Amino acid sequence: MSINKLALIRYKTIDDCLRNRRRKWTLDDIIEKVSEVLYDNEGIENGVSKRTIQADIQLMRSDKLGYNAPIIVMDKKYYTYEDAEYSITQTPINDADVEKMKVVVGLLKQFNGFSYFEEMSEIIARLENNLYYSTHQSRNCIQFEDNKQLRGLQHINPLYQHILHQRTLFIEYQSFKALQPRKEIYHPYLLKEYRNRWFLLAKPKRGNHLLTLALDRILNFEPAPDEKFVEYKGIDFDTYFSDLIGVTKTQKDKTYKVVLHVNKYNAPYVITKPLHASQEVLKEDETGIIIRIEVVLNFELEREILGFGECMKVLSPRLLASKIKKRIAASMDRYDAAAQTE
């Protein structure tokens, strides 16, 4: 059941009336008080009908909203609570709702470090405090990946607002390879998270290609009101990242059928946690499994393969196999050089 703001104001006002035992409240008195509060708070001048207040009282008496308010009529005229201590604001929460709310609080606390959720921190703290006193507070049973030292998180909310309202931005950005930062006009389209690191998908004013900017490399940004925002209609952003591992991609990149051999010790891990949604097991024997994924060849794919070390081998394409071989050889050279200096 949906409850709108005006209904909540009416319920709260009726509750205030019935709790005030220094005065006897007729139905007309309650209608007058509710109309007065609606005018003061919402500027509503036509008041409220008798039928609406009668329906509100019946709803408050029922268990539809969990109130079960003990509203009685004395001398067939005056409305009050049978229990002088009762208030809808103190309605106990059932055990099932408490458990659900505890889970929600636990989830919200995980996001509390993001600037987008800063305005909710006080609400979360109050809710957690109320739950603590209404039940035995249990330990948190779910935890998200978190990196307190990660830079750029403060950009998430303002960038989201600029994307939402289609504002062109003047961004100062310094990549890992650049010696100096560059300032450029961008049209922002999408925020993307990968392994607890955030990225902005945007198109520079000069050029037609989309770029992926790491938020921790953005030094500064501000709206460029004189630059008209240009919508990008070349791709569907919901599927843009579907053919790759990670976020590194250009529109010119094509998809390859990557075939990998995984040894028998890591095969169960790769089967239960696929490298990519397109993963398919081509063969399984006593040595392990051969899988195929259809993805763009990028840095994140190479890092994923190298992370398995000697447990994974690229069978095709030859281009990728050659890159991995060269990187392993370079790594071995570093170890050999370090051994010679010891």
| pLDDT-based confidence at residue 140 (cuts at 50, 70, 90) | low
What pLDDT, on a 0 to 100 scale, did the predictor assign at position 125? 54
Q: Which amino acid is at 342?
A: E
CB neighbour list of residue 168: distance below 8 Å, 6 or more residues apart? 185, 186, 187, 205, 223, 224, 225, 227, 228, 229, 230
pLDDT digit string, tens, across residues 160-181: 889 989 999 999 999 888 889 9
Instruction: Tell me the average pLDDT across 295-318.
Output: 96
Residue 121, pLDDT > 80, answer no
Instruction: Tell me the average pLDDT across 52-62.
Output: 93
| pLDDT-based confidence at residue 65 (cuts at 50, 70, 90) | confident
pLDDT digit string, tens, across residues 276-296: 999 999 999 999 999 999 999
pLDDT digit string, tens, across residues 224-266: 999 999 988 877 888 888 999 998 888 788 999 999 999 999 9
Structure tokens at 161: 């607002």
Residue 66, pLDDT > 70, answer yes
Question: Which domains are seen in the chain, by residue range?
Answer: 5-90 (1.10.10), 95-134 (no CATH), 153-223 (2.30.30), 255-339 (3.30.70)
What pLDDT, on a 0 to 100 scale, did the predictor assign at position 1? 39
| pLDDT-based confidence at residue 196 (cuts at 50, 70, 90) | confident
What pLDDT, on a 0 to 100 scale, did the predictor assign at position 2? 43
